[in-house]
Amino acid sequence: MTGIPGAHAVHHVAYTVPDLDQAVAFFTDVLGARLLYRLGPVSDPSGGDWMTRQLGVHRDAVAYIAMLRLGPVSNLELFQYAAPGQRRELPANSDWGGHHLAIAVEDVDRAVTYLRAQPGVEVLGEPQTIADGGPIDGDRWVYFRTPWGLQLEVLAMPAGMPYERTTADRLFAPDGSWSDGDTGAGRHD
């Protein structure tokens, strides 16, 4: 057996942001997320090393946290920290720890038109369609940045991707749009 015994699923992804209010507003107002809850301030009131032992941050760090839901099942946790020695640069995708969150959409070009109309959003380049005959041939995608610089992606992968010829595994793909109230059960075939 390999893997974590009893693991069920990915529960959430998390990002540390410079301004929690701004990030929550962006994810809810622009991307259509739903705010589930907020916590904070979170710190070690005893002045001990709980923050270091449990979260791997400076012992004097203070966190504010929000949990959001993107679509039917994806949870996104946002942190805003105040901490001594805090680095305040976002990594590039090519840096160790680089990252992005990809959002499946029905129509990449329509999504890009919407994103370009949002204040502070920067669409990187133009939508691209992979047409190399490889495992994700037909995928259409483009990256964009939030007003504070977090990189995200919108993409549309048609059903029956070429990689599916070599495995029984399928990427999860929702059946409906979270922005029109349809949470969809998701396709698993």
- Ordered DSSP codes for the chain: --SSTT-----EEEEE-S-HHHHHHIIIIIT--EEEEEEEEE--TTSSSHHHHHHSS-TT-EEEEEEEEETTTEEEEEEEEE-TT----PPPTTSTT---EEEE-S-HHHHHHHHHTSTT-EEEEEEEE--SSSTTTT-EEEEEE-TT--EEEEEE--SS-GGGGG-S----B-SS-GGGT-----B--
Give the model's pLDDT for residue 181: 54
Q: The domain at 1-83 falls in which architecture?
A: Roll (3.10)
Domains 1-83 and 99-168 share a fold: yes
Length of the chain: 189
What pLDDT, on the 0 to 100 scale, is given for residue 100?
Answer: 96
| pLDDT on residue 171 | 83
At residue 1, the pLDDT reads 75
So what's the pLDDT on residue 180? 60
- Sorted by where each begins, the domain ranges of the chain are 1-83, 99-168
pTM score, whole prediction = 0.89
Q: What tokens does 173 get?
A: 């793909």
CATH class for the domain made up of 99-168: alpha beta
pLDDT in 10s for each residue of the chain, 189 residues: 789 999 988 999 999 999 999 999 999 999 999 999 999 999 998 889 999 999 999 999 999 999 999 998 899 999 999 999 999 999 999 999 999 999 999 999 999 999 999 999 999 999 999 999 999 999 999 999 999 999 999 999 988 889 999 999 888 777 777 776 544 444 333
